[in-house]
Amino acid sequence: MTSHRNSTCIAIVFVVVVLAAILSRLLNDPFNDQDFNRATWGSSRPQKRARMATDLIESRLDPGMKRLEVIELLGEPDATQGETDLYSIGSWRFSRGGNGEKFVHIAYGTGARVMFMKIAGL
């Protein structure tokens, strides 16, 4: 009986820990706790930029924007891969897309216009 009770307790503790980890990850997204501010973005380290990344993507960048408009808003990209500009938002553990350095990816299509944006590693 004691062995069964111990196994049940271990299973319950395991489930609680897993649920707490999942909840913590959902509530502590480092990319969405500050509104985008152009001056702050331009003068900040990547880790500080990260806090504005979701707001940037959801409310400041629009599909169809010209690349020159994006550069006017954000400054020159930290890197470019093909038709995609990359803006560093620092290195993060246990974040969206796994561990490592993250970027705001802004992909351009015809006429150097924004096709899509995302937060991801390389």
Look up the pTM and report it.
0.75
15-40 per-position pLDDT tens digit: 776 665 555 555 556 788 899 999 99
20, 66: one domain: no
**Per-residue confidence at 94, pLDDT binned at 50, 70, 90?**
low
Q: Whole-angstrom Cα distance, residue 9 to residue 20?
A: 16
Domain that holds residue 19: 1-29
44, 99: one domain: yes
* Domains in the chain, number: 2
Nearest to 81 by CA among 58, 108, 48: 108
44, 72: one domain: yes
35, 83: one domain: yes
57, 100: one domain: yes
Q: Whole-angstrom Cα distance, residue 107 to residue 60?
A: 15
For residue 63 the two structure tokens come to: 């599909």
92, 78: one domain: yes
